[in-house]
């Protein structure tokens, strides 16, 4: 069964201004213009609604703009626009994998092929409402148009950009819906504009009423294409592009920031946008790297990596907060950049008799606080080194691996070894190279049984070589109590130490 073609067009006007203001909510209620070009030839390329109401227009110079009071003058930011465009591509990709970016000038135009998506998202009107809600959550004002013809949907969006609205062209009414739109939305060449102006053609309806053969005779095949566009009949070979998931945000601060609370407020807004993009692709954040640009060009870099990927904003903010407290920047901050690595959300299946593992978010916060107290690299899990050297271990990352259920069988009776931290020095008397007696904690013990020696050494090829003998002894002092212990003889320094006692 073949479905009739159905297209949706997402249109966001004044995109440079909207991309700039999404991370500056304090400026959204003020007239703002975005300038591009080199001084003194800067011109307004985009502006918000408040600036239009004052009489500002695109193409004005900086001198003309400065004549208006209380107007915020911003510089066009290509990184901010690229980040916003990738975010909207990711949001639109949730509803259809077939997309085209047909943006021109300062407007964002995304075309979606939504043919056959009714079983997933319902009627096209429902899909358009969900798409518009996603875009509004990103802080962008846009409109969505629906039509059986791709170019008709794009022309209607360009000709009647009504923010936060959904416009539908019913099948068979494309020409009537486009009739009142100006010719400027067709991107005419200068020669075509001059010819149509001489003919008195100002709207798509007037162009659609022209006879096809005579128009082709005067304008060639371009005339046929323009006539089909005006009537909403121009065919299109859809060329979808795969959206690339980029979890990055960048903002240049208006004034240098020194307070941590102010910085966390900015980071919270940036995290909202990154998490929204991650949720739309059903992924979590495995790590977040914060790059702080300081005054005089220096950079302060820190990376937060919890035990498990997460999309919990309070958790990320708390971890970043603790990391900034442990490693504060050494100067005022003028720009902030966030980069996140995606990770798969996973759930751990516990056994019926397994102990409950700690909650991942609480565990990460507890580890971060411990690292702040004891120092980096001193909080984690002990990992044995591949050596027989005593006390040879390192601190590795803590993991929440599921514990094996405890055995219900009764274990055999075994001795308990209690390690002495630190080992205590002892004085030993030898008889035929075997311990015969020793002094320990101001008491003399006579050895009754001696097991050993167990010799081990290592790193003989370096200056940190080591070698030792270990003896397990059963000894008794003059008052009668028996002592089971472990003595170690350091062969390098010729020292005896009591390292453990047996119960």
- The span from the CA of 219 to the CA of 425, in Å, is 104
Residues contacting 286, CB < 8 A, separation 6+: 305, 309, 340, 341, 342, 343
Q: The tokens of 258 are what?
A: 């020194």
Does the residue 186 lie in any domain?
A: no
pLDDT digits (tens, 9 = 90+) for 435-490: 999 999 989 999 999 998 998 888 778 877 889 999 999 999 888 789 999 999 99
Q: What is the CATH number of the domain that holds 171?
A: 3.40.1170.60
- The span from the CA of 183 to the CA of 229, in Å, is 10
| pLDDT confidence of residue 409 | 53
Of the three residues 286, 310, 343, the one that is the final residue of a domain is: 343
pLDDT digits (tens, 9 = 90+) for 43-69: 999 999 999 999 999 999 999 999 998
For the chain, the average pLDDT equals: 86
| pLDDT confidence of residue 358 | 57
Q: How would you write 414-454 as a 3-class SS string?
A: CCCEEEEEEEEECEEEEECCEEEEEEECCEEEEEEEEEEEE
pLDDT digits (tens, 9 = 90+) for 390-401: 777 788 877 655
| pLDDT confidence of residue 7 | 94
Over residues 113-122, the mean pLDDT reads: 90
CB atoms within 10 A of CB 400: 13
pLDDT digits (tens, 9 = 90+) for 235-249: 988 887 776 778 888
| Confidence check: pLDDT of 189 > 60 | yes
Over residues 241-258, the mean pLDDT reads: 81
Of the three residues 178, 199, 225, the one that is the final residue of a domain is: 178
Over residues 279-287, the mean pLDDT reads: 84
Q: What is the domain range of residue 285? A: 248-343
Backbone angles phi, psi at 163, to 5 degrees: -60, 140
> Are 101 and 16 part of one and the same domain?
yes
Cβ atoms 12, 140 nearer than 8 A: yes
Q: Residue 29 class from Cβ within 10 Å (0-12 exposed, 13-18 middle, 19+ buried)?
A: exposed
CB atoms within 10 A of CB 5: 17
pTM given for the model: 0.64
Does the residue 79 lie in any domain?
A: yes
Over residues 367-390, the mean pLDDT reads: 79
Q: The tokens of 189 are what?
A: 């060449």
Does the residue 412 lie in any domain?
A: no
pLDDT digits (tens, 9 = 90+) for 327-358: 889 899 999 999 999 887 655 555 666 656 55
| pLDDT confidence of residue 399 | 65
| pLDDT confidence of residue 173 | 93
pLDDT digits (tens, 9 = 90+) for 12-31: 999 999 988 887 777 888 99
Alpha carbon 281 to its chain centroid, in Å, reads 12
Tell me the percentage of the chain whose pLDDT exceeds 70. Answer: 93
| pLDDT confidence of residue 56 | 93
- Number of domains composing the chain: 3
> Are 155 and 252 part of one and the same domain?
no
Q: Vertex 15, ends 157 and 30: CA angle to 5°?
A: 115
Over residues 177-198, the mean pLDDT reads: 91
Whether cis (ω within 30° of 0) applies to the bond prior to 422 is yes
Q: What is the CATH number of the domain that holds 333?
A: 3.30.1490.100
Task: For the chain, state the CA radius of gyration.
Answer: 37
Of the three residues 284, 312, 343, the one that is the final residue of a domain is: 343
Does the residue 187 lie in any domain?
A: no
């Amino acid at each position: 069964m073949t479905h009739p073609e159905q297209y949706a067009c997402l249109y966001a006007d004044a995109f440079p201004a909207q991309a700039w203001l999404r991370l500056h909510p304090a400026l959204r209620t003020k007239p703002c213009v975005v300038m591009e070009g080199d001084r003194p030839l800067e011109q307004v390329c985009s502006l918000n609604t408040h600036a239009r109401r004052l009489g500002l227009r695109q193409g004005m110079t900086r001198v003309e703009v400065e004549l208006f009071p209380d107007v915020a003058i911003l510089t066009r930011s290509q990184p901010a626009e690229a980040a916003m465009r990738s975010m909207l591509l990711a949001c639109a990709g949730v509803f259809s994998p077939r997309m085209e970016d047909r943006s021109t000038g300062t407007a964002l135009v995304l075309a979606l092929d939504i043919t056959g998506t009714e079983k997933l998202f319902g009627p096209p009107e429902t899909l358009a409402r969900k798409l518009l809600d996603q875009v509004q959550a990103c802080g962008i004002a846009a409109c969505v148009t629906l039509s059986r013809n791709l170019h008709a949907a794009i022309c209607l969006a360009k000709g009647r950009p009504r923010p936060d609205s959904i416009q539908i062209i019913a099948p068979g009414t494309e020409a009537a819906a486009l009739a009142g739109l100006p010719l400027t939305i067709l991107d005419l060449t200068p020669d075509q504009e001059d010819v149509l102006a001489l003919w008195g053609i100002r709207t798509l309806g007037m162009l659609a009423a022209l006879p096809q053969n005579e128009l082709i005779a005067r304008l060639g095949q371009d005339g046929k294409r323009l006539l089909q566009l005006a009537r909403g009949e121009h065919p299109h070979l859809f060329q979808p592009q795969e959206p690339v998931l980029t979890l990055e945000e960048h903002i240049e601060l208006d004034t240098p920031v020194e307070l941590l609370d102010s910085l966390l407020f900015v980071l919270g807004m940036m995290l909202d946008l990154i998490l929204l993009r991650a949720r739309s692709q059903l992924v979590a954040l495995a790590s977040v790297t914060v790059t702080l640009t300081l005054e005089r060009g220096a950079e302060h870099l820190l990376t937060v990596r919890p035990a498990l990927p997460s999309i919990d904003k309070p958790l990320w903010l708390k971890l970043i907060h603790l990391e900034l407290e442990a490693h504060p920047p050494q100067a005022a901050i003028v720009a902030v950049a966030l980069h996140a690595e995606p990770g798969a959300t996973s759930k751990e299946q516990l056994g019926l008799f397994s102990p409950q593992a700690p909650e991942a978010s609480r565990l990460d916060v507890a580890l971060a606080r411990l690292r702040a107290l004891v120092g980096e690299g001193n909080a984690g899990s002990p990992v044995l080194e591949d050596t027989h050297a005593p006390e040879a271990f390192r601190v590795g990352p803590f993991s929440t691996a599921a514990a094996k259920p405890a055995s219900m069988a009764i274990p055999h009776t075994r001795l308990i070894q209690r390690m002495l931290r630190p080992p205590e020095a002892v004085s030993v008397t030898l008889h035929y190279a075997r311990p015969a007696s020793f002094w320990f904690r101001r008491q003399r013990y006579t050895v009754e049984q001696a097991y050993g020696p167990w010799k081990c050494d290592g790193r003989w090829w370096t200056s940190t070589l080591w070698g030792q003998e270990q003896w397990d002894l059963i000894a008794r002092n003059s008052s009668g109590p028996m002592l089971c212990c472990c003595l170690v003889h350091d062969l390098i320094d010729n020292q005896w130490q009591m390292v453990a006692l047996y119960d």
